[in-house]
Chains A and B, each alone.
Chain A
Amino acid sequence: MEKLGYLLLAGVTNGSVYGLVGLSLSIIYGSSRVINFAQGDFVMLGAMSAVAFVATAALPWPLAIAGTVAGASIVALALDYVVYRPLARRKAPPLTIMMGTLGAAIAIYGAALLAWGPDQQFVPALFSLDPMNLGPLVTNSQQLAIIGAFAMFLAVTWFTLFRTRLGLSIRATGVNPRVALLMGIRSERIVQFSFLFSALISSVSGILVGPLLGGQIGMGLLLTVKGFMAAILGGLGSPFAAAAGGVAIGMLEALMAGYGTSLYAEPAIFLIILLLLFVRPYGLLGDYEAQKR
């Protein structure tokens, strides 16, 4: 039972990281039908900004977090104004805009290379990395904080989408931007909000995972891939489905490593996802997308 406990805890921890990126991707997709290939780079910006503000500039954590979120927001606005909006106004198809976000990812990587260099950086921990007991299990506060942040952002997303007029506008824009516009909803503002909200989620995620993964300017790519897998598995149209997809992948990885063969865990998980998508092409919880078509 102790082993199962560790596997479940690891599955939830890793799944929360994938889920946070999947949630960010899905929020933007929900309002714009665009996959933001630069999303993982916002996680990187979060981790590396923590290095700059806390380790280098010796700022207190509240200021460092505010600075990190502000920096990520500026980059998100640049992504909106420089890439998304000009292309969308010229009626570019989503695939073209996605290529634009890929270009933005390369530009962010290049800027980060100039700012922080190529080396692995030590990211200061917001919470303690010392072992702590959680019932019979041993973990640390930083890992629990990742799970907590995941739960918090899920709750905030749910509240925003289903309990506010803004959320109603976001959902309406996602269903049909033209009709939403006719109804008086400024869809460009909605998309801009989704870029900003996703940047907030990803940059805070970066602050939390940085001390565990280590800060390196190339870390965004792997996380984008995992987040994208999570969103596809869960169902791209719904942020909650994407988040659930992240947890499912984390659980699969942990259980495969714990009870199966860890050497072939990654290809086995890809195979499982592929088989699942044969049965449910719009993801595990992608009924909404399926109905739309």
Chain B
Amino acid sequence: MRRQYGIGALICRRPLCVALAALGSLGATGLALADPLPLKICMIDDRSGAAADTGIESLNGFNMVIEPLNAKGGINGRKVELVVYDGKTDPQLTATYATRCAEDDQGLMIVGGSPSAPAAAMVPVAAQNEIPYYILSASANNLTDDAQWQFRFGPKAAQDAIAVADAFAAIGFKKVSVINNSTPFGTDTSRSTIKELTAKGVAILTQQTYDIAATDVSPQVVNLRQGDPDVILVFPYPADGARVARTIRQLGIKTPIVMPRVGVMAAFRKLAAETADGILVPISVDVTRPEVAKLYADYNAKFKPIAPSPSPAQGYDAATLTVAVLSDALVQKAIDSGDLAAARKAIRDATERLGKFQGMQGQAGVTYQFSASQHHGPPDQGFFVFTQVADKGERLVAPDMSQLKPKN
């Protein structure tokens, strides 16, 4: 029985037909390879849920780079497409969106992840699908240990601890009291900080822990007074942080308070109001740098005005590196070839090559330190400055650190 080769069989004999068919399929493949990949990036973060502020602000910061770029024609004439998902601070949902990005959306990379749990849920998805993943503010220490595909822009919890310990040592504080809530955030961050302080010879007079459902935290706060500490360190969530601040001031304790991370959050400052004033917060955003001040002025002009929190800067820096990486010649070549796996690998490699740059976080002259062996960007030294809550919690100002002195 004669085999059919479609139209080819009508016009030629069998060997020729096979050759034509092979040429045709090669041609088709060649055409597919020539189709460049769209510059599609998935933003997966929390725009509702407990960490909604961070997710919204970092997306806004990201768009402050991407929108002007697209308005000018994009990268080599191609616009950057954002696929935005709301993970709702739900690790399982976040991981599902990451999988959808990698498999269905054919995204080149994933950006997002502010609380640690959703960020951690995306790490195995990134590894399994071999897709680059830029983590933003998630602070769990181990998120970038032995990292292959994930890179982090926000400082990890241990770096807050180092910044606090360095500052206290520089001021000469010798006696510290610590109070934290009983959540993993409260206990882990206080443990990291106590370890760093102890290593620098700072005495921990007491560590107090409270339940976040406790209406009255005065038993713990009364104990903070013992030994007359030079400074009180607080590791709360926003609502209970306000309760602690109010109780400290209610009991007439004048000791300086340092509240890493939560102290700058709008929810905390609104709930604590005037009792938040004077609280010091180590922060990775130095608004005395002119370009950083301009970023926040532009942000406040365009979006809902905020006090400088790290999230917009992290989104902005992630976008800056994204654009640099996507503009890289090797990445462009991989994108032009239409090979998604090769493009993702090229993006990862380019991030490692191009990842030493001055962003909007850190002190002047301090750069991110991404490399093949280092997927955590912020360095241990020079990344933090201190800010101070003022005007009934309404504003964050640069503190006069020279006013801080040990009691004796």
| Chain B positions 204-235 with a Cβ under 8 Å from a chain A Cβ | 207-220, 222-223
Picked from B220, B238, B252, the residue with its CB within 8 Å of the CB of A262 is B220
A1 and B211 alpha carbons, distance in the complex (Å): 24
Picked from B207, B209, B213, B270, the residue with its CB within 8 Å of the CB of A265 is B209
A188: min CB distance to chain B, Å? 34
B side interface size, CB within 8 A: 38
Quick one: given A7-B222, A120-B271, A216-B239, are A14 and B216 in contact (CB under 8 Å)? yes
CB of B219 within 8 A of CB of A7, answer yes
A123: min CB distance to chain B, Å? 9
Q: Is A254 an interface residue (CB 8 A)?
A: yes
- Most chain A beta carbons < 10 A, residue from B53, B187, B223, B238: B223
Quick one: given A117-B48, A212-B243, A214-B239, are A226 and B213 in contact (CB under 8 Å)? yes
- Most chain B beta carbons < 10 A, residue from A9, A216, A223, A257: A257
- Most chain B beta carbons < 10 A, residue from A118, A122, A138, A140: A118
Report A143-187 CB contacts with B as 1/0, cut-off 8 Å: 100100000000000000000000000000000000000000000
| Chain B positions 165-203 with a Cβ under 8 Å from a chain A Cβ | 182, 187
Contacts of A9 in B (CB 8 A): 216, 218
CB of B215 within 8 A of CB of A17, answer yes
A253 and B214 alpha carbons, distance in the complex (Å): 9
Q: Is B8 an interface residue (CB 8 A)?
A: no
Quick one: given A14-B214, A213-B239, A216-B239, are A258 and B270 in contact (CB under 8 Å)? no
A146 and B214 alpha carbons, distance in the complex (Å): 13
CB of A138 within 8 A of CB of B267, answer no
Picked from B50, B215, B222, the residue with its CB within 8 Å of the CB of A14 is B215
A117 and B238 alpha carbons, distance in the complex (Å): 16
CB of A263 within 8 A of CB of B207, answer yes
* Count: A-B pairs, CB below 8 Å: 96
Q: Is B127 an interface residue (CB 8 A)?
A: no
Contacts of A275 in B (CB 8 A): none
| Chain A positions 102-153 with a Cβ under 8 Å from a chain B Cβ | 117-120, 122, 129, 131, 138-140, 143, 146
Residue on A nearest B251 in the bound complex, by CB: A138
Report B329-360 CB contacts with A as 1/0, cut-off 8 Å: 00000000000000000000000000000000
Residue on B nearest A261 in the bound complex, by CB: B209
CB of B252 within 8 A of CB of A120, answer no
CB of A213 within 8 A of CB of B211, answer no
CB of B215 within 8 A of CB of A209, answer yes
Quick one: given A13-B215, A17-B215, A263-B207, are A120 and B223 in contact (CB under 8 Å)? no
Contacts of B211 in A (CB 8 A): 253, 265-266
Q: Is A197 an interface residue (CB 8 A)?
A: no
A143: min CB distance to chain B, Å? 6
Interface residues on A, range: 35 or more
Q: Is A70 an interface residue (CB 8 A)?
A: no
CB of B208 within 8 A of CB of A262, answer yes
CB of B213 within 8 A of CB of A139, answer no
CB of B219 within 8 A of CB of A6, answer yes
Q: Is A99 an interface residue (CB 8 A)?
A: no
A215 and B215 alpha carbons, distance in the complex (Å): 12
CB of B212 within 8 A of CB of A3, answer no
CB of B212 within 8 A of CB of A10, answer no
Picked from B208, B215, B246, B249, the residue with its CB within 8 Å of the CB of A257 is B208
Picked from A10, A118, A129, the residue with its CB within 8 Å of the CB of B52 is A118
Q: Is A222 an interface residue (CB 8 A)?
A: yes
Q: Is B319 an interface residue (CB 8 A)?
A: no
A201: min CB distance to chain B, Å? 16
CB of A257 within 8 A of CB of B52, answer no
B206: min CB distance to chain A, Å? 9
Contacts of A129 in B (CB 8 A): 246
| Chain B positions 264-304 with a Cβ under 8 Å from a chain A Cβ | 267, 270-271
Contacts of B252 in A (CB 8 A): 138
CB of A118 within 8 A of CB of B48, answer yes
Q: Is B27 an interface residue (CB 8 A)?
A: no
A226 and B50 alpha carbons, distance in the complex (Å): 22
CB of A118 within 8 A of CB of B49, answer yes
Contacts of A146 in B (CB 8 A): 215
Quick one: given A129-B246, A139-B250, are A262 and B213 in contact (CB under 8 Å)? no
A10 and B239 alpha carbons, distance in the complex (Å): 18
Residue on B nearest A122 in the bound complex, by CB: B270
B93: min CB distance to chain A, Å? 13
CB of B215 within 8 A of CB of A213, answer yes
CB of A131 within 8 A of CB of B250, answer yes
CB of B267 within 8 A of CB of A120, answer yes
Residue on B nearest A218 in the bound complex, by CB: B50
Contacts of A214 in B (CB 8 A): 238-240, 242, 267, 271
Contacts of A262 in B (CB 8 A): 208-210, 219-220, 223
Contacts of B210 in A (CB 8 A): 257, 262
A90: min CB distance to chain B, Å? 35
Report B301-328 CB contacts with A as 1/0, cut-off 8 Å: 0000000000000000000000000000
Picked from B182, B208, B243, B250, the residue with its CB within 8 Å of the CB of A138 is B250
CB of B219 within 8 A of CB of A258, answer yes
Residue on B nearest A221 in the bound complex, by CB: B213
Interface residues of A (CB under 8 A from B): 3, 6-7, 9-11, 13-14, 17, 117-120, 122, 129, 131, 138-140, 143, 146, 209, 212-214, 216, 222-223, 226, 253-255, 257-258, 262-263, 265-266
List the 6 closest pairs (A to B, CB-CB), nearest first. A214-B239, A257-B219, A10-B216, A120-B267, A13-B216, A222-B213
A-B contact pairs, 8 of them (CB 8 A): A117-B48, A209-B215, A213-B215, A214-B239, A257-B208, A257-B209, A262-B220, A263-B209
